[in-house]
Amino acid sequence: MFHRAVFIGTTLLASARAWNTDVHNQIGFMAETFFTPQTTSVLGQLLESQYNGSVGRAAAWADAYAHTAEGHFSYQWHWIDTHDAAPEYCHLDYTHDCAKGGCVVSAIANQTRILRECIGQVERGDLARGTNLTCSYALKWVAHFLGDIHQPLHANGRAVGGNTYKVIFGNVTTQLHAVWDGYIPYFAANVSKPFSNQSIDPFFSDLVTRIRRDQFYSAPYLWLSCTDPSTPEECATSWARESNKWDCDYVYSRVRNDTDLGTDGYAVGAVPIVELQISKAALRLGTWLNNLVQGVQSVSEEQEIIEL
């Protein structure tokens, strides 16, 4: 989960559980660049007025809500704890690893189904201006959880997702989870303050450009091999497995708790992974929501033809 960063001296610190709050916002702003005009219009009707129709501005809501008495039930939806043994063995089994009260995979699936119904209400003219909180919440949860599921330590149970694994970064003692939530994104962007929660920042605009120009070592079109909202458990599980694999391939295999991760090469090696995972999250989110809107619209048009 993301929380606002704090500063000590010139070091930007993150007290987080999964991508910092501002990183969630930026993933949402990136996703918006891939929206069709129809998607932008429809989703804008689902959100409460304070978001001004922006999924990016709403993408961090789920973290704060999970820490309220009303929303505490959703706290565990932000991750899936695997029962594997990183870095020796990484394996995610949705049926076995998803807790009884839900996990990030089941949350994406359930809220996607609700969101589909809500989009249908907008298409029929039965919903506008964020008047249905169930629908607004569903959109905000989907936007948030597609970010969470791409953070590697949200798909691993070791050390409570890295939250109890103590490390040093920038001469500050912290947790491995916080390193991946915020320290490395800030390191990658070379910034000393949080990213904007109102509009896309240059670092993330550059990632969008790289996606459009196919400038990642894995082609972006391959990231979309599973983006059919009618099979949400299947797709979300595949995304979680990708994240879990990084826990063996880098997160835990390269980490040391007796050196400074900010200067021993760990952060430098992690930057391409963070850039990749953030970019996957944004493109998949944008495509997921486009497909939802397009699918509902197609069904509505078919029904109209049948009625004629």
pLDDT tens for each residue of 46-83: 999 999 999 999 999 999 999 999 999 999 999 999 99
1 vs 141, residue with greater confidence: 141
**What ranges in 33-167 are assigned the alpha helix state H?**
37-46, 55-58, 61-66, 94-97, 104-123, 133-148, 159-162
Q: How high is the mean pLDDT of the chain?
A: 93
* Per-residue pLDDT, 7: 34
- pLDDT, tens digit, for every residue of 87-114? 999 999 999 999 999 999 999 999 999 9
- pLDDT, tens digit, for every residue of 240-263? 999 999 999 999 999 999 999 999
Q: Is the pLDDT of residue 6 over 80?
A: no
* Per-residue pLDDT, 298: 76
Indicate yes or no: pTM above 0.85.
yes
CB atoms within 10 A of CB 155: 30
| Assigned domain for 236 exists | yes
Kindly give the pairing relationship between strand 172-175 and strand 6-8. unpaired
Q: Is the pLDDT of residue 1 over 60?
A: no
* Per-residue pLDDT, 299: 66
| Assigned domain for 1 exists | no
* Per-residue pLDDT, 297: 80
| Assigned domain for 272 exists | yes
- pLDDT, tens digit, for every residue of 152-199? 999 999 999 999 999 999 999 999 999 999 999 999 999 999 999 999
**Sequence-ordered list of residues with C-beta below 8 angstroms from that of 76, at least 6 positions apart, any chain:** 99, 101, 102, 103
Q: Is the pLDDT of residue 17 over 80?
A: no
Torsion, CA 234, CA 237, CA 242, CA 247, rounded to 10: -170
* CA angle, residues 204, 205, 207, in degrees to nearest 5: 60
| Assigned domain for 22 exists | yes
* Per-residue pLDDT, 301: 57
* Per-residue pLDDT, 302: 52
Q: Is the pLDDT of residue 232 over 70?
A: yes
Could you tell me the residue range of the domain that residue 182 belongs to? 6-307
- pLDDT, tens digit, for every residue of 249-304? 999 999 999 999 999 999 999 999 999 999 999 999 999 999 999 999 876 555 55
Q: Is the pLDDT of residue 207 over 90?
A: yes
Banded model confidence at residue 2, pLDDT cuts 50, 70, 90 = very low
Nearest by Cα to 175 from 185, 183, 165: 165
Mean pLDDT of all residues in 221-249: 98
| Assigned domain for 248 exists | yes
| Assigned domain for 169 exists | yes
CATH code of the domain containing 194? 1.10.575.10
> How many domains, the chain?
1
Nearest by Cα to 21 from 197, 234, 167, 165: 197
Instruction: Show the tokens assigned to 84.
Output: 């594997």
56 vs 308, residue with greater confidence: 56
